[in-house]
Chains A and B, each alone.
Chain A
């Protein structure tokens, strides 16, 4: 169906799919860094499972993006041969793991948003986009269940776990505004009936996040300056390091097969 799109819409859809794919790819890579290092074997497997779900979704979104772009690139080219400024992921997702509390808080902010977001996207008129999104809803609801339970336990746990969880919320809250980023690309795709209009997303997310944070006895920071940029390719210093590690094999041995 992508060959029926006019050039404007095609370019917008490509950019939009990069956002979705890059979010999942970068988050998946961050989570994979825990492999072999998590606080318990069971949690190691849980985080690796979530990472694999994310990379699987990234693969689907980027494959679709490459097809929409129609310039002979494939999903691996998009993952391994783009530079920092060409990545459109949320700043939140490139933030380092730091400690378990940061990892869980990052996941909680993203998954609690993702569950509403992908439910909406699953209503897209683009069959392929709707399909990946409904799969993402299922996977995200498990990710959310896992990190939500951890938020409660870390926040309302020991003195140290509470302190670390509150620090993580304080550090990461400033990146949550970008979850709701919209520009002319979104407007165009909504007009074209490719994306559903999702205005109530922010309120739904905020209500839910507040509910869980309250249960976890954690405070939302007041008057925090919000930081954005990832959607425009302007990243924090952490993404470059992540990409260097993620891309080095593919760039050192182009066209290698394994």
Chain B
């Protein structure tokens, strides 16, 4: 048992992005453990695409993703709250384009 944990702890975490159809964006699906890039791709295929969910997969080492931290949420996102004029909601939308 100790041996298994040791093996596993040596594996990096990879974030997985799946594309459901050609032309669609790749969307974050979750993550997998894997020793290297090729195995990460295979693990991602087995964990996130075994029921035909994807036509393309991206894996990215989790430590290579640069993300905002929870403490950034004020300065990063709140200033947008009081600038309602940035939302195009004051225009009447013609019927023909409602579907968009």
Contacts and interface: CB of A to CB of B under 8 A. Distances in A.
A40 B42 CA distance: 13
A103 B34 CA distance: 19
A39 B36 CA distance: 16
B50 interface: yes
A256 interface: no
Nearest to A47: B46
B7 A145 contact: no
A203 interface: no
Contacts, number: 34
B47 A40 contact: no
23 contacts: A39-B4, A39-B8, A40-B4, A40-B7, A40-B33, A41-B33, A42-B32, A42-B34, A42-B43, A42-B46, A42-B47, A43-B43, A45-B43, A45-B46, A45-B47, A46-B43, A49-B46, A49-B50, A142-B45, A145-B42, A149-B39, A149-B42, A153-B35
B24 interface: no
A30 to B, nearest CB: 18
Interface string A113-146: 0000000000000000000000000000010011
B76 interface: no
Interface residues of A, number: 13
Interface string B41-76: 011011100100000000000000000000000000
A108 to B, nearest CB: 14
Q: Which 8 A-B pairs have the closest CB atoms?
A: A42-B43, A46-B46, A45-B46, A40-B8, A42-B32, A49-B46, A39-B4, A45-B47
B80 to A, nearest CB: 39
Interface in A26-83: 39-43, 45-46, 49
A40 B47 CA distance: 12
A146 B4 CA distance: 20
Contacts of A45: 43, 46-47, 50
B42 to A, nearest CB: 6
A79 to B, nearest CB: 24
Nearest to A100: B7
Interface in B1-23: 4, 7-8, 11
B81 interface: no
B78 interface: no
A40 B11 contact: yes
